[in-house]
Amino acid sequence: MTADPAAARLAMLLARTALRDRGAFEQLYGATRAKLFAVSLRIVRERFLAEEVLQDSYVSIWNHASGYAPAKSAPLTWMMAIVRNRSLDVMRRTREEPDIDDVLTQSLADERAAPEREALDRARAHSIRSCLEELEAEQRQPIALAFFHGLSHSELARHMGRPLGTVKTHIRRGLMRLRDCLARAAITEVE
Amino acid sequence: MRRPHDELAHALAAEYVLGTLRGAARRRFESLLAGDAGLREIVARWEAWLTPLAGRVPPVEPPARVWRAIEARIAGRAPRRASWWSSVAFWRPWGLVSSGLAAVLLAFFAYFSTGPRTEPVFVAVLVSSSQQPMGVVSMHPPDVLRVRVVHDWSNMKDRSLELWVMPERGAPRSLGLVRNEVGDTMITIEPTDPRVRDAKALAISAEPPGGSPTREPTGPMLCKGMIAPVQRS
């Protein structure tokens, strides 16, 4: 990650932010705000809400900068995850729906009594794109719509004119195929 | 080697990062995450995989007020986010725009007014932070304050909208709730009522159902506008 000078600069600014350096935090904001605002705006769709998300996210970045681990993720990835999460939080208050995934989450809670660590591998940006392209359109499309526009399962089903169960299956299978492809790409990179 | 629960962990982590894990399932997953480092690693991996896709989204500049708000919050100068009414900034930027618009809209009123029979003694055009006119308020003697919503807030249907009058000094005072739909809400109040007599501006905030529990605005301000007295020729 540090091979990329832009990412290295962001990592440095984040590290200084963790030390309560306001100037560094302002530079970090300047370097990332337009990207993060765009990401939130796509998901929440209302400027007013996206502004709130951005505000909350940067306050959270300020408060949790010391928790950023450069070894685990690129700085922008870490910040985007905060913004995406906050956007999804804000949205679910207005568009909440019951979901059978709760059953799965429950069974995971029961099974993961003794978690096993897996080695953390990493893939570059081009990998996700080429791996997405390997998917069939019916798997790729709902994944992209959900990622960029924050559509839920039922919104995807309505949008695509497909039964809910079919859309869920396509997403699950698509994601697992993506994982296998990305893991392969990571291994190839190491070699 | 992957065990079955790892498959499940991956499936849920992927949908969590993708955003399709919603509602109670999302919250439950988050509480699992808090106590499970292995699961956090799987989520981190999915974030590292999927997030670079967002690099494709064309950037959009946020308005300068976002940074001002962040700065105020991290400085601890504004511990309560709701105190928008007490800031000088409330009065500064939009006044001219609003009173200019009020003059324009007055003509519109004279023709299309359907409710109160008298001409208004003051009007205010309430605009959103992006300057979009959201509502028009007019005071009609003897005792009708008409709040005409021209754009509703579809994302605020679970909240109550509350109309506030902003005196030159002191805290805002509630004038009551406004329906979140395009159309008129009539509020009975006289122009000489102390609540409106020295009013300078009006604002609508989003509040919990039933209105603010504290007699002061607690939610975000949705729109505001300066009051423009109507000149009689």
Over the stretch B9-51, which tens digit does the pLDDT of each residue have? 899 999 999 999 988 888 889 888 888 888 988 998 899 889 8
Please give, rounded to a whole number of angstroms, the shortest distance from the CA of A115 to a CA of chain B.
6
What is the pLDDT averaged over residues A77-102?
Answer: 70
B177-214: pLDDT as tens digits: 999 988 888 888 888 888 888 788 899 999 888 888 87
CA-nearest residue of chain A to B18? Answer: A147
The H or E element containing residue B50 is helix B37-50
Residues 6+ apart with CB under 8 A from B38: A112, A115, A116, A117, A118, B9
A23 and chain B in contact, CB less than 8 A: no
Check CB contact under 8 Å for B32 and A108. yes
Check CB contact under 8 Å for A96 and B130. no
Q: In what order do the strands lie in the sheet with B173-178?
A: B173-178, B160-167, B199-207, B221-229, B122-127, B133-140, B144-149, B183-188
Question: Locate tokens 């959009």: which residue?
Answer: B60
CA–CA separation, B216 and A87 (whole Å): 27
A171 and chain B in contact, CB less than 8 A: yes
Q: How confident is the model at residue B107 (pLDDT cuts 50, 70, 90)?
A: very low
Which chain B residues are Cβ-neighbours of A109 within 8 angstroms?
28, 32
Check CB contact under 8 Å for A99 and B25. yes
Q: Which two tokens stand for residue B131?
A: 């300057």
What phi, psi does A10 have (nearest 5°)? -60, -40
CA-nearest residue of chain B to A45? Answer: B155
Nearest to A37 among B9, B49, B60 (CB): B60
Please give, rounded to a whole number of angstroms, the shortest distance from the CA of B199 to a CA of chain A.
26
Would you state the torsion angle of the CA atoms of residues B17, B22, B23, B26, taken in this order, to the nearest 10 degrees? -30
**Best CA proximity match to A113, nearest among B233, B179, B5:** B5
B160-174: pLDDT as tens digits: 999 998 877 777 889
Check CB contact under 8 Å for B66 and A54. yes
A154 and chain B in contact, CB less than 8 A: no
Nearest to B220 among A52, A81, A109 (CB): A52
